[in-house]
Every structure is written in C-alpha cells, then in structure tokens.
Structure 1
Amino acid sequence: MTAFTTASAWADTSSETLPDDPLRPDEHCDLAIVGGGILGLCSGLHAARQGLAVRIVDAARIADRASGLNGGQVIAGFKYDPDWLIEHFGDKRGSALVSFGASTPDAVFGLIERERLNVPRQAKGWIQAAHSETALKAAEDRAAQWIARGVPAKILSADDVTQMTGAQGYLGGWLDPRGGAIQPFAYTRELARIAVAAGVRIAENTRISRLRRENSSWALATADGKTLHAKSVIVATNAYADGLIPGLARTLLPLHSFQIATEPLPYEVLANILPGGQVVSDSRRIVTYYRRGPDNRMLLGGRGSMAEPTSPKAWAHLEHALKRLYPALNDVKIEKRWYGRVAVTLDYLPHVHEPERGLMVAAGCQGRGVGLMTALAPRLVDYLASRDPECIPLPITPIKPIPFHTFRNIGIGAAIAWYRLIDMLER
C-alpha cells in the first residue's frame, strides 16, 4: 500500500537553498535562538544588524513547520477588541497593546517592501464573516471600535459579504483594510536568506536537548555532544515546545491546523470568488479561513484532529466547508492537503516569559502569528539589550503550567469534534 503523504500549496515555490552551516563541537555567540520560524528569524536579523553574533538552531529544515505551512493571513490586533484590552490591562498597558496590535500588518508588508523580499503578497484587507446574529453584533462592535481609532474599517451587510467573497450563508461582517496575505513558505525562507546575509548563522536539522546556565552565560547542548555558548537566548519554538524549558510545553495547548487547496481553477469559476483579493476568516466555533492561492487555486483551512492524519479523510470537514460556501466547487478536485502544529493559550493572548535573566520566551499566536511574531521579534532583542520593559507591549509573566494539561488536551479534542458537528448542522 502506498504511504500516505501530504503536500502544501507553498513548498514548490521555495526560494534559494540556505548554505549548510552545521553546529561545531564548541561554539560561542552573543545571542542563541532556538527555533528558526518567523519569530526566530526576525529576532536574529534585528540582533545581527545591531552588531551581535547570532546563531539560530532549528530541529527541522527552515519553513518546514508552522511558519512555512500556515495560511499566510496577516491580521491586525489580538483575539480581543481594543476596549477590552484597555479595560483589562489599564489605560497605559492596554493602549500599548492596541497600538502594537494595530501595527503588525505594517510590520510584515513594510519588511517585505523594505528588504525587497521575493514574497507574493496581497494587502487588500481581511474580512471577518459572521454566520449568526450574535457574531454579527460582535463584528459590528469590533469594527466600530477600530473606526473610532481612525482605522477605515467597514461594517458589511450580508449582500456586501456575498459580493466580496462569493460565499453563501453569511449575515454580514466587517472589513479590516490593514490585513492581507503572504506566501508563508517564501516569507520564511526569504527571512532566512536576509538573516544569513546580515551575518546570522543557521544550523538546520539540529535539536537542542539541554539548556543550562553557566555563570554569566548559557550553554545549549545537542544529544551528540555539541555545545553552543551564548550570552543570551531566545526560545522561539512556539507549538513545538518540549522539555527544554521546564513547564513551558504545559502552558500551551497544541492544535493542528489543516488546509486544502483545489486544483487550478478556470477564470470563469474563479471570477466571482474573492474578486477583490481579500482573505476571510469566519465566526464559526471551529473557524474556517480561506483565500485565493497560487496558480489560481482556492485555499481553505481550519482546525483538524488532535491526532496526526493517516488518510485524506482527515480533511473531509474542510472539503464539506468548501462545498457549503461555494457549491460551484462541488466537483472540483482537491489536489493538496497539509497541516501544521499551532499553539494557543488558555487566555488567548500571546505569552512572553523570562524564566531567568537573559533567557526570553514568546509563544501562543492564536492564529495571528505572521504579523504578531514579525512585530514582536525586534522588541525582544531590544529588551535583552536595554532591560527596558517598555520595549515589550505584552506583560512578562512567569511560566504557569495549565492544571490537568493532559486532560485538557483530551477535552479539547472532544470539543473540536462536537463544535464541528454543530457547525456542519448550521448551514
């Protein structure tokens, strides 16, 4: 029997190969970064341009995990609305978070333009489509809060959403013009390319198995006996957190984000699907997100099973959602199926930790990792250099493992299955 494989819509558009730069038995650097995703690469780039010697170590190949496999949506803000952030964190911290969240799309698109990165992108806006009256009221409130802060957002009627997306079944929503989409695999590989050009040294397929304090520096060791000595460390593994930092993995709930891509669609079929080039996330319990992809494909994603997929049936819920939204695609072939691991936190906010002086951790993207991690990275580096807490908009919190973490994962798996059933019944 042929082994089951997955393939994303992105990998066949990769950029040039990175130079092979394996870790030597005994190395020294100013900043060691564990994890070569968007956070790690942007941190390394910023640090190198500040004159630091930087080493990035990744357990896999650059862009082979979530940073290169995600849906590429660039969304401003956090899961929470501006008014909530100010009420919850107070005027000073809350306002800083609102401003930071508002800046994240500019961080991405500005970096691409400034550095002339070879990254396909569309900065045409993000639509949050509402499938219920409750969700519509929440969308209208969210849009109104951003409009009050000078963002030219637009509240959308049901007809507006139908015209802008071509999808069926929505009651309305809102358009955030700051959002958009990138090709995430190309973005991550291009970040690695310019980081290397700035002097960052990247070791792929190298797992750090132990991290320990050595007087005023840190020692990062591999299973085969190599050691990297660094003055400071950033752990940027997000959903791939393991036992390197005690308790970190148990602060996160790892989930799988599944995606599908259709075969290339003829113009007459694609013409009425997202004609303005926006990207969409909806309001269902298990969020569905979609966009146009490369080669005139339609891409759609959402939460998958907690287990690793073993057959194409694992993506059946996404194919059902695609047909529900676009009946004209009922007979279209699904050519690509893939998935990546993502992490959420219990409070649906990113977490920043400093377990010890000179050791920084950031994790928990809640579906906004492209913009969030691009914008947060230089702030982590600046904080390590200055010790100024104003550098980081998010509070630096202690690591607090989630009680009954294993049982919560089991419960989340059951909840996903239940919510997906309800979503399928709510046509």
Structure 2
Amino acid sequence: MPITNHNLWRAKANDTFVSSPLKGNLHSDVVIIGGGYSGLSAALHTAQQGMSVHVLEACTVGHGGSGRNVGLVNAGLWTPPDEVETILGQVAGIKLNHALAAAPDLVFSLIQQHQIECHPLRHGTLHCATNSAGLRQLKQRLAQQVKRNAPVTLLGASNTEQRTGSNQFLGALLDPRAGTLQPLNYALGLAHAATNAGAVIHTQSPALTYHHNGQHWLVTTADGSVTANKLIHATNAYDTLSTPNTAFTSVHYAQFATRPLTAQQRKIILPNGEGCWDTNQVMSSFRVDESGRLIIGGVGSLDGKAKHTHINWAHRQLKALFPHITEYEFEYMWSGRIAMTTDHLPKITRLGNNGIRLYGYSGRGIGPGTTFGKAAATWAMTGNEDHLPIAITEPKPESYIGLKTAYFDMGATLSHWLGRRY
C-alpha cells in the first residue's frame, strides 16, 4: 500500500540537522527568518564574510518548499527571457536573466565545494511539447535563448522519445546547463556548510513578531529574541506570520513516487536522468531519483477534498506516458506550496531600514533561491543594492489572494479530473 502524504525526500534524507530552538535574548549582525534555500544560502555566504548570523526556522531545515519540490536545478525562469526584459525594462531584465542563467553554476559549485551529498546530476532538463501549440512555444523559447548564446537544443519527437522513454511528445527543449538533485539533502548540506562557517541555526523557532526599534531589528520567538543590524526575511510560501501584506498567491504542487523501476525499465525511461516538465497550461513534471523511482508531479494539493482526483490523475498520467509499466505502485505521495507572483518574477521588497524580503520563485526555488540568498549576503555586508539581481521594491499586497488560490486549485482539479481519460 502507498505511504500516503509521506515525503520521499524526507524519508531518504541524509540526516535531520538537529539543532536547538532559540532560548534567551541574543544580538547578531544579521538575523534570517527561514531555513530554506534562500535563508541558508544567505547564512552561508554571510558567515563566510565574517559576520555573525542567526537563522530562525519555524520547523526543520527544508520543511517548506526546499524539501518538497521536484529537484530540478533550472537555468533561468519559467517566464521567457524576452518577457522578463519587457516587464522589468531591458537593463534590469538583462541583469536578472544573466544572474539566473548562471544559477546552476552556483548550485553545483557549492555542492562540490562543500561536498554536499545530494545526488547531483547535471545532465540537463527537458521541456516537453505535448501538442503543436507547445512545440511552437518551444521554438519561440529556443530563438530567445539562442539570441543570448545559451547552449540549448530543440529535439525532435524521435530524439525526445529516446531520451524520455515516452512517445507522447512532439519535441523537447534540452538545456544542458541544468540538472537534478535530491532537494532536501541539498538544503541540509547548505545548513551544515553554514554552521561550519559560523552561522547559528535555530530550528523549531517560528518568528512571532519582527520590527525595527529605531536602532536594530528585533525578532521574537516563543522563548527568546534576536536583535540584529540587518534582517533577511526568506520564508517564501511558508511564512508563519499572518500578514495583510502577502504579496503572492500560494499554488499547491503534488508529487507521486513509484518503487524503484526495474533495470530494464531504467534503460528506457530517462536513461540519462534529465528532469522534465511539459508545456500544458496546467503543468506536470517527471523525473527519476538516484534509486530509479519514477516521480510524477502536477499542480494540486493532497491535503484537501480533491486529493483522490490528483492521485487518480497521477495513475493515468503514468500509464499514458509509460504504458509498458504495467505493475507499479506509488510508494510516496506529498505536496507543497509555491509562491506565485502576478508576473511570475521573483521579488526583493524592502521591509524597512536595513530589512529585505526574498520571495516569489514561482516554482523555481533551487537556482533562484540560492542566487538571491548569496546576493542578500553581499547586501548585508556592504549595504550596496547594486549587487542584487533585481531592484528592491516597496511591498505591494497581492489582490484577491484567496480567490486566486482557489482558482489555481479548482483549475488543477478540473484538469486532473478530465485529463487522460482514454
């Protein structure tokens, strides 16, 4: 029987990174709220620059999106680069595009430098066209990437089938800069690297309040507080504080992992280990892990009434993509939340004097989160905002958040209820 709502990444994690909750009142150069990719990258790079830094994590390291995502280390954003430059303006858009195109280089270099055991595999990603409209979209993306000298290639249907093991796609955009990893182990590795550099991480320490008292930031927890010169808020979609200034829509994403495939199946299905997602409006993904488990993902939550609709969709999706897999079961099922901004671009907003908030990776947490965290560390050290990949803006609350979340959930549920019924 499947282990419903049990996270594969948590079950196969190297360790749990045991640390103590915050107790007492402390002072630090920098206080970081959130122990995911952004917060841990910021902590590591801040500590490496000789600054004192405390991280407050509400639960455990990687509890949020950093321990629940697909594990794709993408180059760039879901939003095409031309559109990024249209939204931000050419100069600012080029700056963000360049920073995030280099994100996989940063991630894989950190893994090598700190010997993080997270099964990194840099064999690229495949953006797969499910229909003719999707193929046209990939051709447009190819032209934009080629214009920027990116080493991407558009594969035909035959080559796509050879690489994926599925005949359901008309083509795929191969990006060799990208790759896959075990996402929670990467977060745990960043946490160990940060503490080795001198950062202090307090788990089970949700921030209850934070404000600037005129001289310092004061962040309180149930059993203590931290005053600091700089504040980096990095909880993304998992903020523990209820605030009217929420600036993104929460989108749920579910994943389903089989038992390890047979040796013969592994020769056919993603033999090179690329991570994949498709061009459908309600996007889905698939990849294999280091043990050969096939992992199917799609928009939707396993914590609500539509749980069984998403589970049934995952079964149909697997059978449609890989009909030769006749015997299988989903051993693990879990879901998480994505912080989706209106323009699908990440944000850095100003919280006040010497305080910033990082969020809005819209499903691209590993590369952008690591990159934004490192940039935030440089900002904390120098105060120079020019090093940030995107300009700091004033907080702007998202309108109709509840309705938008319901819209995404309802759309995914309807799509999954109707989809693949043949």
Question: Structure 1 residue 20: deviation in Å?
Answer: 2.6
CA distance in 2, matches of 1:281, 1:202: 34
Q: Identify the residue that residue 87 of structure 1 maps to in structure 2.
A: 86
Residue deviations 1:311-332 (CA, integer Å, cap 9, x gap)? 6664222222111111112431
CA distance in 1, matches of 2:5, 2:237: 20
- SS of 1:294 mapped into structure 2: coil
Post-superposition offset of 1:158: 1.2
Give me the whole-angstrom Cα distance separating, in 1, the residues matched to 2:334 and 2:302. 14
Q: Which runs of 5+ in 1 are unaligned?
A: none
| Equivalent residues in 2 for 1:181-200, closer than 5 Å | 181-200=180-199
TM-score, length basis structure 2: 0.94
How far residue 384 of structure 1 moved from its aligned partner, in angstroms, is 2.9
Kept in 2, the 8 Å contact 1:242–1:248? The answer is no
Question: Secondary structure, in 3 states, of the residue corresponding to 1:7?
Answer: coil
Say which SS state the counterpart of residue 286 (structure 2) adopts. Answer: strand
Whether 1:232 aligns to 2:230 is: yes
8 A contact 2:100–2:368 mirrored in 1: yes
Distance, in Å, in 1 between the alignment partners of 2:139 and 2:30 is: 44
**Distance apart, 1:97 and its partner CA:** 1.5
In the alignment, the residues of structure 1 paired with residue 262 and residue 42 of structure 2 have an alpha-carbon distance, to the nearest angstrom, of 41
For residue 361 of structure 1, the aligned residue among 357, 360, 364 is 357
Q: Kindly provide the CA deviation profile for residues 57-92 of structure 1, in whole angstroms up to 9, marking residues without a partner as x.
A: 111111232201211011111122222223332332
Task: State the match for 2:100 in structure 1.
Answer: 101
- Displacement of 1:30 in angstroms is 0.9
Alignment-derived partner of residue 142 in structure 2: 143
| Aligned mates of 1:331, 1:83 — CA distance in 2 | 44
Secondary structure, aligned partner of 2:208? strand
Q: Does residue 289 of structure 1 match 2:280?
A: no
The answer on 1:406 being equivalent to 2:405 is no
8 Å CA contact 1:21, 1:201 repeated in 2: no
For structure 2, the 5+ residue unaligned runs are none
1:10 corresponds in structure 2 to 9
Q: 2:164 maps to what in 1?
A: 165
Give the SS at the match of 1:424: coil
RMSD in angstroms over aligned alpha carbons?
A: 2.1
Alignment of 1:2-401 (within 5 A): 5-222=4-221, 224-243=222-241, 246-249=243-246, 251-305=247-301, 307-308=303-304, 314-401=310-397
* Maintained 8 Å contact 1:140/1:173: no
Secondary structure, in 3 states, of the residue corresponding to 1:240?
coil
SS of the residue aligned with 2:396? coil
Distance in 2, matches of 1:310 and 1:423, equals 14
Give the C-alpha shift of residue 421 in structure 1: 4.5
| Distance (whole Å) between structure 1 residues aligned to residue 203 and residue 229 of structure 2 | 21
Cα–Cα, structure 1 residues 414 and 99, in superposed 2: closer, same or farther, change >3 Å?
same
CA distance, structure 2, for counterparts of residue 336 and residue 255 of structure 1: 20
Q: Per the alignment, do residues 132 and 115 of structure 1 end up closer, same or farther by CA in structure 2, a change over 3 Å counting?
A: same
Distance 1:87 1:161 in 2: 31
CA distance in 1 between partners of 2:399 and 2:291 (Å):
46
How far apart, CA to CA, are the structure 2 residues paired with 1:316 and 1:418?
12
